[in-house]
Amino acid sequence: MSIQIGDRLPEVPLQRIREGIETVDTNALFEGRKVVLFAVPGAFTPTCSEKHLPGFVAHYDDFIAKGIDVACMSVNDPFVMQAWGQSQEVPAGLQMLADGNGDFTRALGLELDASAYGMGTRSKRFAMYVDDGVVQQLFVEAPGEFRVSTAEHMLDALR
């Protein structure tokens, strides 16, 4: 079963690169904070690079003005996430999180079998609003869709 509104996020380590590779558990990332976490099936893939991440980059300041941090996650390694963030000119505060083995994605119940495309297990495309580790809003895309996980849709939901 996948995570639902009102559920606490599972505690799973993720990785990011700042001064070097850091492993940080989800409790540390989300405890005491308001965060929009959005996930993409793969860094550098067309919809993810042309629409999904750029939308959150363009509206990053709108989320910050609401006191909400933003994090992007993908089942990629931290080096790929760092390179993708640099290529997309991601603001320094927008965290690029790597779920390299898909452990967090599986714990959320939001995995996607993309093996038919040579991509193995990935994350479904989604966006969630988390307040102090508890899911307040959750928007999961149907396969091949890009509507409900956009930055604009999330901003509308937060009004």
Residues marked as catalytic: 48
Amino acid residing at 17 = I
**Is residue 51 within 8 Å of 14, Cβ to Cβ?**
no
**Is residue 50 within 8 Å of 136, Cβ to Cβ?**
no
Quote the CA–CA distance of 91 and 97 in Å, as a whole number: 14
Q: DSSP letter string over 48-80? A: IIIIIHHHHHHTHHHHHHTT-EEEEEESS-HHH
The two counts, helices (H) then strands (E), for the chain are 7, 9
Quote the CA–CA distance of 55 and 148 in Å, as a whole number: 12
Tokens at 11, concatenated: 């505690």
Tokens at 73, concatenated: 């996650």
